[in-house]
Structure 1
Amino acid sequence: MFILEAPYVSDFLKQTIADRKAPVLANEMAIRHFGPDAPFLCTDDDFVARSGQGLPVYSNSENAIDWINTHLGTTGLPDTIGVFKDKIRFRELIRDMHPGYVFKGVDFAELEHLDPSAFPKPFIIKPAVGFFSLGVHKVDSDEDWPRVLEAITNEVSRIRSQYPDQVVCLDRFIVEECIQGEEFAVDVYFDHKGEPVILNILGHLFASADDVSDRVYLTSPTIIRTWLDRFTAYLGEMGSRAHLSHFPAHVELRVDKEGHIIPIEVNPMRFAGWCVADLTFHAWGFNPYTYYLDGNKPDWESILAEHEGQAVGVLVADVAADVDCASITRIDYTSLAARFSNPLELRRIDVHEYPVFAFLFARVPENDLREFRELLHSDLKEFLTIART
């Protein structure tokens, strides 16, 4: 069953639902995309009754959490979601898996009194309930703290106007040790036995050591082969602590230079946000949504053999922080797509609603990531026409 919510529903997800005639909650978003008379739309009561029969639930967005908390309390989902959405509760859950890891919860109102010298450098500060790198900052020194505090304060009102508290809550922050190493994002579901089934692993590329953006993610046979078994074992331990079953998640991890796996966060009830989970189909040819709903497991050995030497990634074309989105009068999507020799899909996003103007999926040689790396270091202003003030 599906719950559709803002900010984005892809054509691929819509087609998946239509082909299966899968039950969908008849909320505003579903009616907008399918019309009020679609036969697979469910009333609140019908959806609750079906979920009580043990049917797996998937939402494309954590904006659905408020409805789940209100209507699906008897399923246990609200408490499980809460463990992962609250990064402080999550750290407590896995504390003994990572002895010595430093973290602390701080109320937003108390940030101005925070003593940065009390934490090892560098450290990360971010909303305890967050999404999409919103409000995430790295502090490299005590002297850096006033600048970061000012940036957080300026961001609060903007973020609150774009996302509900269930997705990004800015009343409480977590200060935690900065995890050094490679970063990965894993789309996984936990089956009826609680065993993790990994559907994709994305490497997160950064422009520099100080970069905390979500600009580029990509997957390849080498990434899957290198990390599949290790991440599966780690997620199995994590999932057993939270008693997970019939549960999809998007998990962000880092691996330090000693090979230790440390989770950054777990995003519940969905795979990669903004339907970036569709990248799994672009890269590997199977549908991640139906695999979860049907309890299927990828035959990675045969899948990877068919895609040797290839990598598939997504460019998140965000708007530079010094650009007022309201001042953008034109976006050159044609030139953006032309920067890739094998673009697969270009999604146009309303830049006046969100500070992102496109998601671009592309295939590149696994041993040559230049097309992604060049734009990783760009402010992307070359694709924007900005009105003069």
Structure 2
Amino acid sequence: MFILEEPYVSDLLKRAALDLGAPVLDTPMARQALAGTGLRLWGDDAFAEAFTGGGHPRIYANSEHAIGWVARHLGATALPGRIARFKDKLRFREMLADLYPDYRFAGVDLEGLARFDPRSIPAPFVVKPAVGFFSLGVRVVRDPAAWPGVAAELAEAARRQGSLYPGQVVDFDRFIVEEVIEGEEFAVDAYYDAEGRVVILDILGHLFASEEDVSDRVYYTLPALIRRWREPFAAFLEEVGRRAGLRDFPVHAELRVGADGRIAPIEVNPLRFAGWCVADMAHHAYGLNPYACFLEGRVPDWERILPEREGKVFALVVADLPSRVDPATLESVDYEAFLARFHGVLELRKVDFTRHPVFAFLFLELPEDELPSLRGILGEDLSRYACPREPTP
């Protein structure tokens, strides 16, 4: 079953919806994405009945915009509660607290940020919306003396960005303040099968420009990454799933691995894989349709897949704009100049930059030894590709 919502439905996701014949909820985004295909969309009641009737136990949502629908129409099922355990970062930390007894975190509302004592959490620490998405409202604080400025920045971010997504996706009214989890960061798309076993569909390494960088600028994957971390990450996620009672459930997990090899979760996003259909990286890199894998219970044959990709690295560049740039002031983006900066382009996804703080998602295939070259884009001000509107006389 599919719930297709804003902000983006990729061709690969459309193909899965068309090929599998599973119910697709009738939403404005589904009507737009599947127009002309002849696929029948299911109304609210019929879709809910198909799920609760047991014939279609798996739902995939490409966006957390779907969470509100699930809460309204599937409230009598276990699904909303499972989602809430992960979407609310405070509840998530509390669920795993005994695994990390020395880890410090606290909740604070928007009005309380200015009064929060920054010395109550060991520095460095991170503050972010308790319900959040896409690094919106995330700040790293290394010096408690900087807290008043950070609190003011977050209040301004709440004013400017609070309306970009529904409250169930990003809520600037509540924040979590927590210790920085040190180590190498990874993003994992996976699903829980009918017995609660974890099936890994992709693992992405996350590159950063500095210790202060919290952006989503560059991700990459290659066979060595899958070989090294597939089994450890699956074992960790199975413990998480055991605590949350997960079955027939997709997740996008963000994890860090410390110098001692210990795995620690940053967050686990429910009911979906990587946002904006970035989960399509599994297709570009490994020939998988992750949506079909989940709905049909397919397990990748990594022993066959990985040798065919040796010597290659597959990367994603998120062309985001600085927060100081007001998207409403932009006239256009010089996509040709942006593309000219890269080679090995697999796909360019143009984004409506007047509505979102991003103008493109770029998928690349490079020789493995060119992975270090991707660091050049980290921290770069991409506003130079954005063309502002001419002032009105």
The two structures have a TM-score, normalised by structure 1, of 0.97
Shift of 1:371: 4.3
1:213 alignment partner AA: S
Q: Alignment partner for residue 314 of structure 1, among 313, 316, 319?
A: 316
Structure 2 counterpart of 1:161: 163
Structure 2 counterpart of 1:337: 339
Shift of 1:74: 2.5
Q: For 1:189 and 1:145, locate their aligned partners in 2 and report how far apart those are by CA, in whole Å.
A: 38
Q: Alignment partner for residue 184 of structure 2, among 161, 173, 182?
A: 182
Q: Which moved more, 1:56-65 or 1:255-264?
A: 255-264
Q: For 1:346 and 1:371, locate their aligned partners in 2 and report how far apart those are by CA, in whole Å.
A: 19
8 Å contact 2:18–2:39 — kept in the other structure?
no
8 Å contact 2:328–2:355 — kept in the other structure?
no
Q: For 1:372 and 1:385, locate their aligned partners in 2 and report how far apart those are by CA, in whole Å.
A: 24
The two structures have a TM-score, normalised by structure 2, of 0.96
Q: For 1:66 and 1:326, locate their aligned partners in 2 and report how far apart those are by CA, in whole Å.
A: 27
Q: Which moved more, 1:377-386 or 1:220-229?
A: 377-386
Instruction: Give the 5 Å matches for 1:136-151.
Output: 136-151=138-153
1:8 alignment partner AA: Y
Q: Which moved more, 1:318-327 or 1:86-95?
A: 318-327
Instruction: Give the 5 Å matches for 1:190-339.
Output: 190-339=192-341
Q: For 2:369 and 2:232, locate their aligned partners in 1 and report how far apart those are by CA, in whole Å.
A: 23
Shift of 1:33: 1.9
Q: For 1:276, what is the secondary structure of its paired residue?
A: helix
Structure 2 counterpart of 1:92: 94
Structure 2 counterpart of 1:19: 19
Structure 2 counterpart of 1:356: 358
1:6 alignment partner AA: E
CA deviation digits over 1:172-231, x for unaligned, max 9? 111101111101000010000011111000001001111000111111111111111110
Structure 2 counterpart of 1:2: 2
Unpaired runs of at least 5, structure 2: none
Q: For 1:61 and 1:281, locate their aligned partners in 2 and report how far apart those are by CA, in whole Å.
A: 19
8 Å contact 1:85–1:267 — kept in the other structure?
yes
Q: How many residues align?
A: 389
Structure 2 counterpart of 1:126: 128
Structure 2 counterpart of 1:46: 46
Unpaired runs of at least 5, structure 1: none
1:86 alignment partner AA: D
Q: For 2:320 and 2:337, locate their aligned partners in 1 and report how far apart those are by CA, in whole Å.
A: 16
Structure 2 counterpart of 1:112: 114
Shift of 1:37: 8.5
8 Å contact 1:105–1:174 — kept in the other structure?
yes
Shift of 1:327: 2.3
Q: For 1:246 and 1:346, locate their aligned partners in 2 and report how far apart those are by CA, in whole Å.
A: 32
Q: For 2:332 and 2:28, locate their aligned partners in 1 and report how far apart those are by CA, in whole Å.
A: 29
